[in-house]
Structure 1
Amino acid sequence: MDFFKGLNVDYKAGNKDDYSGRNSKNEDQYWHENIKVNSIENLEIDIGIIGYVCDEGVQRNQGRIGARKGPRSLRNQLGKLPIHFENKNIVDFGDIVCVDENLENCQTALSKMISKLITNKVLPIAIGGGHDIAYANFNGIKDALKNSTKNNIGIINFDAHFDLRKVENQPNSGTPFNQILSENKNASYFAIGIQQQSNTKELFEIAAKNNVSFVSNFECETFNIDLKNKLNSFIEKVDYVYITIDLDGFSSAFASGVSAPSSLGYSPNFVYQVLTFLFQSKKIISCDIAELNPDFDIDNSTAKLAAKLLDFMVLIS
């Protein structure tokens, strides 16, 4: 495909067979009946779903591999959900697939897709895949805004981890936000759900050095006025907001199928409330959901959660 010329990646266009579910008796009422699929050339839509079939970054980070299977698992559960939104044209543009362990080319390809969607006034929702998806998504946003005077990008990351590790030998799923902050003076970072026992002292020091805002998992029991004020202050200082959700930020009671599960995470109800608040800002430019690992999922509960998060973001967008 010319769009990815020179990149060692595979691209698979959207496929309706990835979606399945109950059939409606009258009008179409489920995702699998309404979702459109296409290749990247057709962009007269509102929201574009893109799969990031890659867990090379997780493997480099010594995590549990399997996240490359995440996009397909999410779509399968998404297809079963009833639709409660109206007048939204949504297209699944298929998958960017990592080839020959070439994480960097996979990230570049996803960035190109993100940029094209945003340039055409489409909201991208990328589904992974390892959290190295964040570096790709951010660079796509950055490219789309390269000719704009409004290019201050605020990153809001739902996660147990900072993912601020320094790149030593190769980038991985633990380095994306260090890479972003090192390369972009106009990027701001707010992490929600940080767990002390999942981050070294050095990572907290890197966060402080880079003026990273964060709240711990213990501050995520309820969406209180203090967190609302902190988020408001963060949002007011940026032109656009990029939302990235690492599923390992949730308690393992809700998300067992991830690379690094933890019982100390937050609840889906908390994230739903925060997402509603964030989308009210009208500054959301791109989103993604990372680290779904079907190999360790129980009764597809994590895939169901990821699918419901995507459905909810579509509903409130």
Structure 2
Amino acid sequence: MMPELTPAQWSGRDDGPELEHRRWHHVINASMSPPGGAARRTDRQGGLAVIGFQSDEGVRRNKGRPGAADAPAAIRAALASLSAPDQLTACDLGDVSVAQGTLEAGQERLGHVVAAAIQAGHLPIVFGGGHETAFGSYLGLVGSGAVDGKRLGIINLDAHFDLRADPIPSSGTPFRQIAELEMAAGRDFTYRVLGISEANNTLELFRTASSLGVEHMLDEDCGSAALPTVMAFVDRFLEIVDTVYLTIDLDVLPAHVAPGVSAPASLGVPLEVILAICRQLARSPKLAHVDIVELNPRFDIDGRTPRAAARLVHTIATEHSALMWDVPTRPSTSPQPGIESL
């Protein structure tokens, strides 16, 4: 049974009813049933399903700066007036709200919503929330049956491993929790991280990552000039997994691009590189779930961080819609000029 969710609000610029004027707020449909159509589709029939996770309890427990609970509304507002990708079908299932002290119950509710969306044929995109969102996302993937008899691969765009062994779950523990459950289920823990800040992860965290077989690339090795190396890393990951979960922590971006996060990056990975990674993953039929986390509107400047988040979502939606409808998209072998100018 689907938990009760708080309905989401979408509004934005309206230039007229013609299709060429479509923006995201025109397309979002608060129904689990996708619009019909005569065009040929691939096996993904449901389009995108937006889900909000209003939580900063995990950030609070991890001694970070609260405020991520306000992020879903901020991302929707930044996304609403962007031009809708061709053939986009999407719905918004609403928000899972997490009261202080109820993180674990909130993660379970999120898991139920994610599972229902996947079972309905959608690609869920969760707007967190702190990175505690990830454990709820994982519960949904497992509950949906998407990993049954398949190798799950998690790729995290993040400055941090989030592999802490703290006794209480937080925004710093989700992938340690996932690793333990995957191993208990007799499955390999296939976890890759792009954008790790060597200065912001302790030696113990690097040792934990090594012991769990986690492969990573440092932020300083993910610059624009290194894009072919980054893309090769992503390709190798895609080759060895069957089901992909993409999780994007906005603190992977440089602080001038994403100031509105709990822990702004001193270096970060350029936005054009993160966009290229998202484009590559969204072109794969293996992509089953996405979340974007750690936006903290309280510390943002000029709407920069939600606009960056919206651009990432728009890119994923564009590529996924093209895949679903089996239409061509432009090639992407190098960063696009001006992409950082949101």
Q: Same fold (TM over 0.5)?
A: yes
Tell me the distance in 2 between the aligned counterparts of 1:112 and 1:26: 36
Cα deviation per residue 1:94-137 (whole Å; 9 max; x = unaligned)?
10000242000000001111111111211000001000111110
Q: Does 1:180 align with 2:171?
A: no
Q: Which amino acid aligns with 1:143?
A: G
Q: Could you say which residue in structure 2 is the equivalent of 1:276?
A: 279
Q: Which amino acid aligns with 2:2?
A: F
Q: Could you say which residue in structure 1 is the equivalent of 2:231?
A: 228
Q: Does 1:306 align with 2:309?
A: yes
Say what the alpha-carbon RMSD is for the aligned residues.
1.6
Q: Which amino acid aligns with 1:175?
A: T
Q: Which amino acid aligns with 1:214?
A: H
Tell me the distance in 2 between the aligned counterparts of 1:265 and 1:192: 10
- Whether contact under 8 Å (1:258, 1:292) holds in the other structure is yes
Q: Could you say which residue in structure 1 is the equivalent of 2:214?
A: 212
Identity %: 36
Q: Could you say which residue in structure 2 is the equivalent of 1:194?
A: 196
Q: Does 1:20 align with 2:11?
A: yes
* CA distance 1:119–1:26, shift in 2 (3 Å): closer
Cα deviation per residue 1:65-118 (whole Å; 9 max; x = unaligned)?
0000000011111112122x2223200111000024200000000111111111
Q: Does 1:29 align with 2:28?
A: no
Q: Does 1:86 align with 2:86?
A: yes
Structure 1: unaligned runs, 5 residues or longer: 5-9
Candidates 290, 293, 296, aligned match of 2:299: 296
- Whether contact under 8 Å (1:19, 1:78) holds in the other structure is no
Tell me the distance in 2 between the aligned counterparts of 1:144 and 1:263: 38
Give SS of 1:111's match. helix
Instruction: Report the alpha carbon displacement of residue 195 of structure 1 after superposing the two structures with TM.
Output: 0.2
Q: Does 1:127 align with 2:117?
A: no
Tell me the distance in 2 between the aligned counterparts of 1:183 and 1:149: 15
Q: Does 1:46 align with 2:47?
A: yes
Q: Which amino acid aligns with 1:275?
A: C
* CA distance 1:146–1:278, shift in 2 (3 Å): closer
Instruction: Report the alpha carbon displacement of residue 26 of structure 1 after superposing the two structures with TM.
Output: 4.3
Instruction: Report the alpha carbon displacement of residue 263 of structure 1 after superposing the two structures with TM.
Output: 2.6
Instruction: Report the alpha carbon displacement of residue 21 of structure 1 after superposing the two structures with TM.
Output: 2.1
Give SS of 1:252's match. coil
Structure 2: unaligned runs, 5 residues or longer: 35-45, 321-342
Q: Which amino acid aligns with 1:247?
A: L
Q: Could you say which residue in structure 2 is the equivalent of 1:62?
A: 63
TM-score, reference length from structure 1 = 0.91
Instruction: Report the alpha carbon displacement of residue 34 of structure 1 after superposing the two structures with TM.
Output: 2.3
- Whether contact under 8 Å (1:68, 1:129) holds in the other structure is yes
Tell me the distance in 2 between the aligned counterparts of 1:125 and 1:180: 19
Give SS of 1:11's match. coil
Cα deviation per residue 1:245-291 (whole Å; 9 max; x = unaligned)?
00001000100000100230011101111112222332100001000
Candidates 161, 168, 171, aligned match of 2:169: 171
How many pairs are equivalent?
A: 302
Instruction: Report the alpha carbon displacement of residue 231 of structure 1 after superposing the two structures with TM.
Output: 2.3
Tell me the distance in 2 between the aligned counterparts of 1:286 and 1:274: 15
